[in-house]
Amino acid sequence: MVALLKVAFPLAALALLSTLFLLSRALDTDTPIPFADVEIQERLRDQQITGPFFSGATTGGDQMSFSAEKLVTLPGRVGGNRAENVLATLEAVDGATFKLQADVAELDIGANTAVLNGDVIMDTSTGYHINTARLTAMISDLDVATDGEVLASGPLGELTAGKMRVFKPNPTDSTQMLFSDGVKLVYTPN
């Protein structure tokens, strides 16, 4: 019985496999790519990248990463790009971490700046959650500043300020977060 099954099972497997290929449907290779003509024309005109990701280090050794949903070259501006639905992470050498999220970012490599607009949110490793409308960041150094009002909540309580800046005064110093222009803190004790 075992000797018979040793021969029967491989023959049955071979028969099943051959019918799989004999009875399969032929594929239509002339089917067009599932993109709308409008979307193809837009991609060709705007020179865009879908899902870009960039990571690197600043001159002081701080790590940064950047990702977006879409990156478009700005017309008439060399080195200028516009990104949508941006996520960025800054990890300072001293261990501080800053996670940024924005609706839109305009990157200017020549000016060494990234301007984040829309609903800009920053979360820090020290427990601060910061909201602002516009934020400017240097690309080659850890220097992030807001242009307007800042709303923050953190370990001390609720905080509002006219401006905020995250920077290192000297390359060997630790990262500092400076709130200025009419700071109001509502302290919430533990």
pLDDT 10s digits, 143-175: 999 989 999 999 989 999 999 999 988 877 889
Give the pairing type, strands 80-91 and 97-108: antiparallel
Does 46 score more than 70 pLDDT? Answer: no
Tell me which residue has tokens 């924005």: 102
Q: State which amino acid sits at residue 81.
A: N
The rounded distance, in Å, linking the Cα atoms of 119 and 103 is 6
Q: Give dist(CA 178, CA 167) in Å, integer.
A: 8
Q: What is the mean pLDDT of the chain?
A: 87
The full set of domains in the chain, from first to last, is 37-148 (2.60.450)
Predicted TM-score (pTM) of this structure: 0.71
User: What pLDDT, on the 0 to 100 scale, is given for residue 61?
Assistant: 87
pLDDT more than 70, % of the chain:
90
pLDDT at 32 over 80: no
Q: How confident is the model at residue 72 (pLDDT cuts 50, 70, 90)?
A: confident
pLDDT score at 49: 83
Integer CA distances (angstroms), 42 to 38, 39, 52, 106, 177, in order: 6, 5, 17, 19, 41
Do residues 131 and 121 touch, judged by C-beta distance below 8 A?
A: yes
What pLDDT, on the 0 to 100 scale, is given for residue 68? 94
Distance CA 136, CA 107 (A): 10
Q: At 90, is the pLDDT very low, low, confident or very high (cuts 50, 70, 90)?
A: very high
